[in-house]
Structure 1
Amino acid sequence: MRLLSLSLCLISTVGYAAKPAPFPVTPNNTGESFMVSATNPYVSSTGYTILKQGGNAIDAMVAMQMVMSVVEPDMTGIGGGTFALYFDNKTNQFHALDGRDEAPASASPDMFVENGKAISRDEILGPRSVAVPGTLRLMYSAHQEYGSMPWAELLKPAIDLAKNGYAMNSYTYDIVVREQARLINDPEIKALYWKDGEIQPTGTLMKNPAIAHTLEMIAQKGDSYLYGGEFGKNIVETVNSRIEGDKPKLSIDDFKNYQMKKREVVETDYRGNTVISFGYPASGGMMVSQTLELLEPYNIAKMPITDAEPWRLMAEAMRVSRADRITYAGDPDYVEVPADEMLSKGYIDERRKLIPKEGSADKNPKAGELSEEQPAQHQEFESKDTGHISILDSAGNAIAMTSTIGTGMGSGVMVDGVIMNAQMANFSASPTFKGKPVQNTIEPGKRPRSAITPLMVLDKNDELRLIVGSPGSSQIPGYVLKTLVGIIDWNLSAQEAIDLPNIQYGTKIDRTKAKDPTGLLVEKKTFAEMLVPELIQQGYPVHVIPVVSGLNAIEIKDGKVYGASDRRRASSSMGE
């Protein structure tokens, strides 16, 4: 294991930020044995090094996530939650590993209702938004069951970067700027990101000795250091000290009782390919599966990529499936989720009638009636900033893993160098909407729904063909759908499919505008701009803005392994 610590620990001799070795410089790569794809060069380099040394996919996932916790704390980390779709090649089985954050035992459906009205997102964010984090328990539990390298070895790269430094990227800087009004109030965050009263710029050498110590203790004691140990107690004490009065608070028992869960996978067929995704409460997979079923009769392969029609069909089909997602998605331990019915042929055929023959639907479709007591169709706040990695090891094991702390810089509370999640804000703030119950309401021990979409595809011979996922909040399913259509319908490579413009209906953060635009979101500086006149003529409110995905994919084809990642971020793939 000495090679690992040397390969990622350059600063001890030269005094500069530790650089990935080898340094990834292109978004794609080709190999024959293994591959990793990630949005950050420190992360992809770490995964490559672990697999190069003979570690398996689970080992690489652990090491990569720990490095993400250090170098991308604005989006992900051990203070947050994770969904990991794992393919075990030896048993030919898919495992949906749920490390989503969980509401504390003190939580209640109306905890964010004051004077008969739900409080705003800005009022929720902060210590009250912290849920019990699940990422570390998932990492440790998965490693205990499937890992091959020693646990402590896998944390060394992250510890080294935290101690010796890494270059802060522009994405982190942008998020700190965006969220600065609430971040500056936390002493640990302020000490890390501010200097002489100013936010430190992109490229700053960042050192976080507090998280280095936390990770060193986790390396020694495993996840018990958080789930019942000193770190967990520090979180409870810090968070609760900032919550006023008798409002719901965390307890150390919440941490002791937290467990990773294994969920159902969602399986559907699209043009002879089997699409495998994560079941509820990760609802993006069901949304993509429904959309693919809706698109099946349309001959998209014969439609030119630069025509408006295939993009219109994708947008309209997603509007139909989104209505079901925001109505029925929830924690299956607490609510009934009619997953089988949502993918049944009769139901899909009926829902397809909502796709207009031409142009835009006059209004957003309503959800289908699948239960006696129809839940409310209620879209509220969802995570804005997320991280994804895709992994294939030399034994054919694969992982699509997406993790988040709930929104940019999470709750804005840092404990022992770790940003704490804001996942309580991803529940519905009100238990009812227009007199109907909400599936995603808060309950003790419940996990909030998510649009996260880790996904894999088997080809017509049932061989693994694709591993893919993306950050991007409620836009994630659309990013993944575009990639699948590009590969399966248009016979593009994974990299070419990722490079396609992002065009989808929804709401997107745009700091250049006073209000976040809602309508057909068309990615600027792409060929999609030339489709805008026709799309407007079809009745769409069109917004040409940055629609920044963070897709990371691995494609297996003709005996080769192809890494692909998103040029919209500092993404890269590495393998051999």
Structure 2
Amino acid sequence: MLHKLSLPIAAALLFAGCASLDAPLATTAPEPVAEITWPGAVSSADFRATAAGEEILAKGGSATDAAIAVMLALTVVEPQSSGIGGGGFLVRADSDSGEINTYDGRETAPAAATPTRFLDESGEYLPRESRVTSGLSVGVPGNLALAAYAHASHGRLPWADLFQPAIRLARDGFVMNRRLNDSLSSSKGRADKTDEARAIFFGPDGAPLPVGSLVKIPELAQSLADYAERGVEAFYQSDATSLAAYVADETPQDGKMSADDVRSYEAKERPAVCAPYRSYRICGMGPPSSGGIAVAQMLGQLERFDLTALGPDSITFWHLFLESQRLAYADRELYTGDSDFVEVPVAGLVDAAYLAERSALIDPAKALEEATPGTPPGAPANLADGNEPPENGTTHFSVVDAEGNAVSYTSTVEGAFGSGLFYRGFYLNNELTDFSLNPKVGGKLVANRVEGRKRPRSSMAPTIVFDADGEVVLVIGAAGGPTIPVQVARSIIGVVDFNLSAKDAVGLPLIMAFGSTVVIEEDSVLTEKQGALEALGHSNIRSFGPPLKANALLRTPDGWEVAMDPRIDPMLATD
């Protein structure tokens, strides 16, 4: 749909001289009475967070301001996926200069963390519960530092204004939707790990509050008010001792978090990863995220094929897409990690000649027997492949302001409800489980091994697409662990090659290669194509219900089309 706002909210924000920030924020979906075109656009995974971003735009805020407000509101209404207890990556495009800025708010390991953090004395993996739902998994949160860094460069409104929608949601309450209720039910032992979280989200019988319940989080409202008034120093300085002590008390072995780990945390600006695709330029996040590289590699390897002629119903297209994934992820496992600690050959991995060489390995008639890493220009030697257990507690939101500045922001606590540890009204991440569990394989070091103050590798892929004239045409990202780059690349192909709307592009089915295993989205049109894929050599095929969640903004002649993954939309219902 083109981005419209229903008259009740629009009138409150625009016709009353911009609404007072003390006014209650809507807790149920507004009834459509009339529609007006909105100056700018917001797409997020929850309409309450979208409304928070729209409110900031209506007050004259920038895309960066609005994106921060969305992140803070999602801390309240989508605690299973993201928040100020986690981290994220932000990609921004300037409408005047075309400049790209990318900001890294990824969590960091404690300084005392060692490469064997997740192994027992005999070198075996610790039990999953010990690894995930304990202080072992908690990195120093980066979202507030990221927000402050980006706001200092690109914000227009006062810092405290950006917090007001989230404060109201936490203080006055929000309605429990089906998605949060289902997530609470499926995350028992994690979401209800602490007495404090149980008192908020669960009833006396131990079951999650019913759909339609009003949820209030007064402690979070107070925390947000504190950070709004006193700035990020209230979190990274004043809270440093209590936060570190809480996490350390929950850490059974290895290096514990210290107050100095919290105080010394820094968000960083990183070089963007940009690459051409057809007549477009695709820009995303570089290390410690692997997302921008993986998206660029998949698209670059597919550019020699006429995907438009094949179309989304072609089994050949889906086969080619799988093969491109396999090659990109083979490189990902070997080469990518935190570039402050390991040499990541970013330029070589997206080099046009290298991608053409990799593309030549793709045979439209049969699958590769094995997809192995290549040797891009500048590749370091003596590295071993490493991987990490997948988790799915992430969210994405896209924002464009009235001037056309664009922000693509992916935020996460890693798994659903992160570590389950609950601090000052919000969940703390389990992001350190994104490190490879084994520091060495075959006597060679793994690039993504645990090290003190290091940031774990990520799959997050906030992306901005420019047309041949340098105009932003697509602002996109996704949630879903290692499926994120695949979702983003697939959606870009949907828009660029298949001429689909943003909604139809993000709604394309998911097919993904995990080594020699292929997973197909259950109950999708691809389930009917399993036999054809097997005939092409994809023998180990499984179907699953992936936790997909993409959000996008697409420029059209009539305005910005706002798109949410159609799989998630029904889960936001409160009846």
TM (normalized to structure 2)? Answer: 0.91
Gaps of 5+ in 1: 11-17, 508-517
Contact 1:40 1:572 in 2 (8 A): no
Please give the residue correspondences for 1:108-507 in structure 2 after superposition, counting only pairs within 5 Å.
108-117=114-123, 118-125=125-132, 126-200=134-208, 201-229=210-238, 231-244=239-252, 247-368=254-375, 371-506=379-514
Deviation at 1:572? Answer: 12
- Correspondence 1:37 to 2:46: no
For 2:384, what is the secondary structure of its paired residue?
A: coil
Deviation at 1:161? Answer: 1.0
2:224 partner letter: L
1:498 partner letter: V
Q: Deviations over 1:141-181 (max 9, x none)?
A: 22222211122221111111111211223332333223212
Deviation at 1:23? Answer: 6.2
1:358 partner letter: A
Deviation at 1:112? Answer: 2.3
Contact 1:295 1:317 in 2 (8 A): yes
- Structure 1 range deviating more: 556-565 or 455-464: 556-565
Distance 1:121 1:358 in 2: 41
Distance 2:37 2:348 in 1: 41
1:293 partner letter: G
Q: Deviations over 1:57-113 (max 9, x none)?
A: 111011111100011111101010010001122332110000000111111212222
Distance 2:120 2:330 in 1: 28
Distance 1:24 1:219 in 2: 32
- Structure 1 range deviating more: 286-295 or 117-126: 117-126
Distance 1:24 1:461, change over 3 A: farther
Deviation at 1:366? Answer: 3.7
Gaps of 5+ in 2: 1-16
2:335 partner letter: Y
2:318 partner letter: W
Q: What residue in structure 1 maps to residue 7 of structure 2?
A: none
- Structure 1 range deviating more: 364-373 or 153-162: 364-373
Distance 1:4 1:527 in 2: 48
Deviation at 1:251? Answer: 1.4
Contact 1:41 1:572 in 2 (8 A): no
Distance 2:380 2:44 in 1: 43
Distance 1:359 1:262, change over 3 A: same
Distance 1:89 1:486, change over 3 A: same
2:115 partner letter: P
Distance 1:65 1:90 in 2: 25
Deviation at 1:183? Answer: 4.0
Contact 1:41 1:570 in 2 (8 A): no
For 1:86, what is the secondary structure of its paired residue?
A: strand
- Correspondence 1:539 to 2:537: yes
Distance 1:464 1:571 in 2: 29
Deviation at 1:116? Answer: 3.4
Structure having greater relative contact order (Cα 8 Å, sep ≥ 6): 1
Deviation at 1:480? Answer: 0.6
- Structure 1 range deviating more: 57-66 or 533-542: 533-542
- Structure 1 range deviating more: 369-378 or 89-98: 369-378
Q: Deviations over 1:317-350 (max 9, x none)?
A: 0110010011111111111001111122332232
Distance 1:247 1:545, change over 3 A: closer
1:46 partner letter: A
Q: What residue in structure 2 maps to residue 521 of structure 1?
A: 519
Contact 1:140 1:223 in 2 (8 A): yes
For 1:467, what is the secondary structure of its paired residue?
A: strand
- Structure 1 range deviating more: 199-208 or 293-302: 199-208
Deviation at 1:6? Answer: 5.5
Distance 2:346 2:32 in 1: 40
User: What is the aligned length?
Assistant: 550
Distance 2:141 2:32 in 1: 31
Distance 2:416 2:38 in 1: 37
- Structure 1 range deviating more: 42-51 or 174-183: 174-183
For 2:549, what is the secondary structure of its paired residue?
A: coil
For 2:232, what is the secondary structure of its paired residue?
A: helix
- Structure 1 range deviating more: 528-537 or 448-457: 528-537
Q: Deviations over 1:201-224 (max 9, x none)?
A: 333321111111111111111111
Distance 1:151 1:498, change over 3 A: same
1:102 partner letter: T
Q: What residue in structure 2 maps to residue 99 of structure 1?
A: 105
- Structure 1 range deviating more: 299-308 or 384-393: 299-308
Q: What residue in structure 2 maps to residue 14 of structure 1?
A: none
2:442 partner letter: K
Distance 2:261 2:388 in 1: 26
Deviation at 1:367? Answer: 4.5
For 2:383, what is the secondary structure of its paired residue?
A: coil
2:198 partner letter: K
1:19 partner letter: T
TM (normalized to structure 1)? Answer: 0.90
2:118 partner letter: F
State which of 88, 100, 122 in structure 1 corresponds to 2:94: 88
Distance 2:75 2:505 in 1: 29
2:289 partner letter: A
Contact 1:31 1:562 in 2 (8 A): no
Deviation at 1:559? Answer: 5.8
Distance 1:287 1:299 in 2: 20
For 1:402, what is the secondary structure of its paired residue?
A: strand
State which of 52, 56, 68 in structure 1 corresponds to 2:58: 52
Q: What residue in structure 2 maps to residue 515 of structure 1?
A: none
Over the aligned positions, Cα root-mean-square deviation in angstroms equals 2.3
Q: What residue in structure 1 maps to residue 566 of structure 2?
A: 567
For 2:189, what is the secondary structure of its paired residue?
A: helix
1:460 partner letter: A
For 1:198, what is the secondary structure of its paired residue?
A: coil
2:484 partner letter: I
- Structure 1 range deviating more: 551-560 or 275-284: 551-560
1:203 partner letter: G
Distance 2:380 2:139 in 1: 32
